[in-house]
Structures are given as C-alpha cells and as structure tokens.
C-alpha cells in the first residue's frame, strides 16, 4: 500500500478537507454533460473520478467500521480495478453512466465526508493510514480528471475552454546541462512519510557519469523535429514506435492544431518556449535519438533531483486553466519520460488485501515518468514518485528532458 510515518491528527484532517474540496471545485464549471462524457476507453468521465474516490473511502475506510453503503449499487458502478472487492462496470463503458447525475454524486461525496468526520475519533492507526492513502489517491485522480477533460474537450471542433482565462506566457528555457558524477547511490523511498508502495524499498544503484538537460524540450524544439521529418524517418524510431506512428497516422504531439494547441483554456496559440506536452514514450525516444542524446533512466533523474524542492515549479494549486510554462527545476510543467520500465524494486512486496492491488499488478509493459506536471496537485509528488503509463499513451502532461553520457 504505502510507507507511513503518520501525520498528526490536525494536519491529516486539514488535508482531507482541502483535497476533497478541490475535487468538487474542479468540477464546478462543468455541466452534467461535460462531466458524464468519456472520450476514449483510457479516460474516465469527470463525475466518475468524483465518485470513484468517494467509493474508495466508503469501501476501505468506512465499511470496516460498520458503515452502510449510501447506495448498494454504487460499488458496481465505481470500483476501478479491485478484483478482490467485486465486479464492476467495464472501463470503456463508464461514459454510459448518465445516472447518477453529477449533483447526486456531489451529494454522495458530502454524505461520505460527513461520515468520515463523524467516525474520526474511532479511526485507529491503520484506518488513518488508509485515509492518507485515500487523500493521495484522490490527488492522482484530480490530475486524471483534468487530463481526461482536456482530451474530451479536444474532440469538440469548437475548441471550448473547460476553464476560461488567460494562460501565462512561457519563460525562456535555460540552455545547457547539469553534470553528475557516477558512483553508487541510494534510491527509492526510505519509509519516512507517505509513499506509494512502488516507490520502495530503498536500495543502491550504480550509475555512470551523465548529464541532464537544464530544461525540458520545448514546443519550438519539437517543431524543428517535425520540420526535419522526425515523424517520417524510421531510423529514429523503435520498431514498436514506428509501427504505432504508421498505424495511427501520428505526425505531431496529441493536442497540436497547426500553429495552435488545445488547452484547458480552449484552443490557444502554441507558445514556442513552453515545454512540449502530450507526447508518448515512443515520440520522446525518437526525439532524443534525433537530438543526439537519450532519455534518462529513472534513477539518473532521481539522483539529479535529490535535494530538490518537490513543491516547486508550475503545479496545480487551484481550479483554472493550467498549461506548461517552463522554468528551472525538475518538478512541474510536464512529467518526464524515462528509459526505465515500471518494474518492482528489489524486495518489493504488495500489501495484503485489496489495497495491495494498487500498483504491483501493473508492473508489466509500462514505462516510468518522473517529476510532476502543471496538473499535479502541489505536494503530492516526491523525488521518489514513479508515475507510469504504456509507451503509446500521451493524453497526460508528459514531456521530455534529455540526458547523455559523459
């Protein structure tokens, strides 16, 4: 499940209230239709995210205390992938759930928040650990809600804005590289404070000297790659990536529309200085080859980030239009694809029970991303955080930071 050094009672309670409120605030500008539609099987409707995170608390925190479900049918509708809990609606059919309405789900959320508050004094240590897991789980779904919503609105020829408002202008990227010595380094979470199970155990790795780019690859950099035939030069691509490009007709990052790009603020002129986003691992690897560099391993990224402020950078604080704007540091704007497969660390063991299905069952065929994005709730990412997606996925705020050998 997770590593824990328990928060004090007031801090945990304040975080619970704040995170639950932010989810509702993110959905406030949406119509019931906006919140019910599903643009592809990998995405989920906004109201499903609101409901699933509530089901998580009702199932894992409240049910062991004797809490009766708000609605016995909701477990089937809003379980995600917990096989040991019971059957569920197929992932690709979540957009067919026009009922319950967004209003009913928000009311259910308020009911569960009240039930958690009423039960607070009866929560023992393990139950509070599950509350903290629920908080971090919900923050993951806040980011997914935003990226899924962007993908949905991008299907609309009108290019509508989910969150109208101006986007910040991107800053001029910092050129150059940071150099890092080789040696034996300790990586992975040490058990002090919260972490998802896949972040540990801590262990030693051997690295050769390497360099990491000071800034993420920008839209301007990517436009040069496109102009130079990057998507039509098979020698740049992994075999699976080239087959994907040919099969899907890929010729640019996901949300590019000519000189514009689809954003949560609607269709906007593409900022050349902004970090490129919504590219797949296949695209990231091909760009790195074209640039005469490579992708960093996840441990190279982590060692370079040790001592960094994970709260820094362009990350999600409040509802509104979010987009990459660039700047210094390794956190914020876009998640960085790495060359590392999402596999268990030495000594990894999933937690007992249903919550053990959280990460370990997905350690096959996916690649690790590091850092945080403009849609990552601030404070929910760590130096040790391992995000992961399949190599062809690109609807997330995923980007590129180059590495090279020294």
Q: pLDDT digits over 264-312, tens only? A: 999 999 999 999 999 999 999 999 999 999 999 999 999 999 999 999 9
Average of pLDDT values for 54-59? 97
Q: How many CB atoms lie within 10 A of CB 96?
A: 12
Number of domains in the chain: 2
| pLDDT of residue 384 exceeding 80 | yes
Average of pLDDT values for 100-108? 98
| pLDDT of residue 354 exceeding 90 | no
CATH number at residue 72: 1.20.120
Give 208-233 pLDDT, tens digit per residue: 999 999 999 999 999 999 999 999 99
Minimal CA–CA distance to 254: which of 240, 270, 239?
270
Query: Do 192 and 136 belong together in one domain?
Result: no
- Phi, psi (degrees; rounded to nearest 5) at 9: -60, -45
Residue 172 lies in a domain: no
- Phi, psi (degrees; rounded to nearest 5) at 154: -70, -15
Average pLDDT over the chain, rounded to an integer: 96
pLDDT category of residue 332 using cuts at 50, 70 and 90: very high
Give 227-247 pLDDT, tens digit per residue: 999 999 999 999 999 999 999
| pLDDT of residue 4 exceeding 90 | no
Do the beta carbons of residue 254 and residue 389 sit within 8 Å? no
Residue 171 lies in a domain: no
Query: Do 355 and 223 belong together in one domain?
Result: yes
In the DSSP assignment, the letter for residue 239 is H
Q: What secondary structure, in 3-state letters, does 127-191 show?
A: HHHHHHHHHHHHHHHHHHHHHHHHHHHHCCCCCCCCCCCCCCCCCCCCCCEEEECCEEEEECCCC
Structure tokens at 7: 């928060």
Residue 165 lies in a domain: no
Structure tokens at 365: 């065929």
Residue 400 lies in a domain: yes
Identify the helix (H) or strand (E) that includes residue 10: helix 9-27
Identify the helix (H) or strand (E) that includes residue 335: strand 335-341
CATH number at residue 293: 3.90.1580.10
Average of pLDDT values for 85-109? 97
Per-residue b/e over 263-302, b at no fewer than 16 CB within 10 Å? Answer: bbbbbbebbbbbbbbbbbbbbbbbbbbbbebbbbbbbbbb
Residue 379 lies in a domain: yes
Query: Do 315 and 217 belong together in one domain?
Result: yes
| pLDDT of residue 322 exceeding 60 | yes
pLDDT at 247: 98
Residue 346 lies in domain: 177-405
Query: Do 32 and 132 belong together in one domain?
Result: yes
Query: Do 269 and 363 belong together in one domain?
Result: yes
pLDDT at 112: 98
Share of the chain above pLDDT 70, in %: 98
Do the beta carbons of residue 355 and residue 333 sit within 8 Å? no
Query: Do 133 and 211 belong together in one domain?
Result: no
Query: Do 311 and 200 belong together in one domain?
Result: yes
pLDDT at 397: 98
pLDDT at 360: 81
Query: Do 81 and 226 belong together in one domain?
Result: no
Kind of pairing between the strands at 398-399 and 335-341: parallel
pLDDT at 246: 98
- 258, with CB counted inside 10 A (0-12, 13-18, 19+), is exposed
Kind of pairing between the strands at 256-257 and 210-213: unpaired
Do the beta carbons of residue 288 and residue 339 sit within 8 Å? no
Collapse the DSSP code of 371 into the 3-class scheme (helix H, G, I; strand E, B; otherwise coil) and give the result: coil
Structure tokens at 27: 């959905």
Residue 252 lies in a domain: yes
Query: Do 279 and 397 belong together in one domain?
Result: yes
The pTM (predicted TM-score) of the whole model is 0.96
**Cα separation, 49 vs 44, whole angstroms:** 7
Residue 168 lies in a domain: no
pLDDT category of residue 84 using cuts at 50, 70 and 90: confident
Query: Do 147 and 188 belong together in one domain?
Result: no
Query: What does the DSSP assignment read for 221-238?
Result: HHHHHHHTTGGG-GGGS-
Count of helices and strands (H, E) across the chain: 10, 14
Do the beta carbons of residue 27 and residue 46 sit within 8 Å? yes
Residue 121 lies in a domain: yes
**Cα separation, 130 vs 318, whole angstroms:** 25
pLDDT at 6: 66
pLDDT at 2: 52
Collapse the DSSP code of 126 into the 3-class scheme (helix H, G, I; strand E, B; otherwise coil) and give the result: helix
The most distant pair of C-alpha atoms in the chain lies apart, rounded to whole Å, by 63
Average of pLDDT values for 195-217? 97
Per-residue b/e over 393-404, b at no fewer than 16 CB within 10 Å? Answer: bbbbbbbbbbbe
């Amino acid at each position: 499940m997770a590593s824990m050094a328990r928060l004090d009672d007031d801090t945990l309670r304040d975080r619970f209230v704040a995170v639950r409120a932010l989810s509702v605030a993110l959905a406030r500008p949406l119509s019931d239709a906006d919140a019910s539609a599903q643009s592809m099987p990998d995405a989920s409707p906004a109201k499903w995210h609101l409901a699933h995170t509530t089901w998580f608390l009702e199932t894992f925190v409240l049910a062991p205390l004797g809490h009766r479900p708000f609605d016995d049918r909701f477990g089937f509708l809003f379980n995600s992938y917990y096989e040991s809990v019971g059957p569920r609606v197929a992932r690709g059919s979540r957009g067919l759930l026009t009922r319950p309405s967004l209003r009913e789900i928000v009311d259910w959320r308020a009911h569960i928040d009240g039930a958690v508050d009423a039960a607070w004094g009866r929560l023992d240590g393990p139950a509070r650990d599950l509350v903290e897991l629920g908080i971090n789980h919900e923050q993951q779904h806040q980011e997914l809600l935003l990226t899924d919503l962007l993908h949905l609105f991008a299907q609309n020829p009108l290019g509508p804005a989910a969150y109208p408002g101006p986007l910040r202008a991107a800053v001029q990227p910092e050129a150059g590289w940071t150099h890092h010595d080789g040696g034996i380094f300790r990586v992975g979470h040490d058990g002090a404070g919260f972490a998802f199970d896949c972040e540990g155990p801590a262990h030693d790795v051997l690295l050769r000297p390497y360099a990491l780019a000071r800034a993420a690859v920008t839209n301007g950099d990517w436009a040069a790659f496109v102009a130079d035939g990057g998507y039509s030069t098979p020698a740049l691509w992994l075999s699976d990536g080239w087959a994907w490009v040919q099969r899907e007709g890929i010729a640019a990052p996901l949300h590019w529309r000519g000189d514009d790009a689809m954003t949560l603020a609607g269709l906007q002129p593409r900022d050349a200085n902004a970090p490129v986003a919504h590219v797949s691992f296949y695209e990231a690897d091909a760009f790195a080859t074209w640039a005469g560099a490579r992708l960093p391993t996840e441990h190279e990224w982590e060692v370079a980030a040790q001592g960094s402020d994970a709260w820094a950078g362009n990350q999600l604080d409040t509802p509104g239009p979010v987009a990459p704007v660039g700047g210094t540091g390794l956190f914020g704007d876009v998640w960085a694809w790495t060359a590392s497969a999402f596999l268990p660390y030495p000594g990894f063991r999933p937690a007992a029970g249903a919550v053990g299905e959280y990460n370990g069952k997905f350690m096959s065929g996916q690649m690790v991303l590091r850092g945080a994005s403009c849609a990552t709730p601030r404070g929910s990412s760590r130096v040790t955080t391992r995000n992961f997606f399949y190599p062809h996925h690109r609807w997330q705020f995923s980007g590129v930071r180059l590495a090279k050998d020294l």
